[in-house]
A = this chain, B = another copy of it.
Amino acid sequence: MGVALMKVKSKENPSVEEVVEILSEGLSNEAIITLFAHCSVFYDGRAKSELGAGDRVIMIKPDGTFLIHQKEKRVPVNWQPPGSIVSFQIEEGKIKLRSVRRKPKEILEVELLKVYLISYFQAEDYEALNLMGSEAEMADLILQNPSIIEEGFKALQKEKPIKHGIIDIYGVDRDGNIVVLELKRRRADLHAVSQLKRYVDALKEEHGSVRGILVAPSLTSGAEKLLKDLGLEFKKLNPPKREKARKGKQKTLDML
């Protein structure tokens, strides 16, 4: 017995039975389910939280993602990541949604006090994001054109694992000194300087003189001071916004 394959289904002010029906259908159809509901939320896992009753938007994705959004902020107030298992039960005439993550063990429970809208969407999507301006692209730019850093710079290795961490770019300058580059796609802060220092210190245990260069569009005031105190250097570089080869799944003949 197959469930009707509808692209979209929705119901305003549904009864408990209708919520159960649409929820079940959405889950078995691998649809994205959204609810507008008055609800309270409980979470226990890496931390623990309680959220008293209020109106929220709930989204359940076919990959197990579970999101609860309040009317403000970019981030969900509570959530469960992909791979979580969602289920529901009825207690005293109210629906309780439950999402469980196995490792680490985390449980999210939503008590639906009133559902204003339930809907699902059988989304088809074969496209992936093409993002330009990442740190990876800064690295590509430097590897293709090392003199951007300084005349005579030669890049020897990318993502070189060392004793305590992984160096973004490892190379030598015109005088043969070892050079460590730490790249940041945005304004670099104290954290970035400490990271560079850690790499430089690790290499200094083996080589004599090691230069450390922080490559970023700019520095915070504190980063600039610390960099100077530690004898490290700064090279201004903006991340390039270049088109990349398409990575997303393409609709091919095989899929039809």
Residues of chain A touching chain B, judged by Cβ–Cβ distance below 8 Å, are: 7-8, 10, 12-13, 32, 34, 36, 44, 46-57, 59, 61-63, 65, 67, 69-74, 77-79, 81-82, 116-117, 119, 121-134, 163-165, 185-186, 190-191, 194-195, 197-198, 222, 225-226, 229, 239, 241, 248
In contact, B71 and A117 (Cβ under 8 angstroms) = no
Please give the distance in Å from A206's CB to the nearest CB on chain B: 14
* Known contacts A164-B190, A165-B222, A191-B194, then 9 further A-B pairs from the complex at CB < 8 Å, ordered by chain A residue: A10-B10, A10-B119, A36-B121, A46-B133, A50-B129, A55-B124, A57-B123, A61-B69, A164-B222
A65 neighbours in B (Cβ, 8 Å): 72-74
A54 neighbours in B (Cβ, 8 Å): 123-127
State the main secondary structure of chain A at its contact with B: mixed
A56–B198 alpha-carbon span in the complex (Å): 43
A164 neighbours in B (Cβ, 8 Å): 190, 222, 225-226, 229
A57 neighbours in B (Cβ, 8 Å): 32, 34, 59, 121, 123
Given contacts A8-B116, A49-B132, A55-B123, contact A71 B63 (CB under 8 A): yes
In contact, B56 and A125 (Cβ under 8 angstroms) = yes
> Chain B: which residue is nearest A164 at the CB level?
B226
A198 neighbours in B (Cβ, 8 Å): 190, 194, 197, 226
In contact, A49 and B82 (Cβ under 8 angstroms) = no
A194 neighbours in B (Cβ, 8 Å): 191, 194-195, 197-198
A132–B185 alpha-carbon span in the complex (Å): 34
A62 neighbours in B (Cβ, 8 Å): 71-72
Please give the distance in Å from A216's CB to the nearest CB on chain B: 13
Please give the distance in Å from A33's CB to the nearest CB on chain B: 10
In contact, A72 and B78 (Cβ under 8 angstroms) = no
A222 neighbours in B (Cβ, 8 Å): 164-165
A133 neighbours in B (Cβ, 8 Å): 46-48
Please give the distance in Å from A15's CB to the nearest CB on chain B: 15
A190 neighbours in B (Cβ, 8 Å): 164-165, 198
Closest 3 CB pairs of A and B: A54-B125, A47-B133, A55-B123
A7–B116 alpha-carbon span in the complex (Å): 8
A194–B226 alpha-carbon span in the complex (Å): 13
Please give the distance in Å from A223's CB to the nearest CB on chain B: 9
A50 neighbours in B (Cβ, 8 Å): 129-130
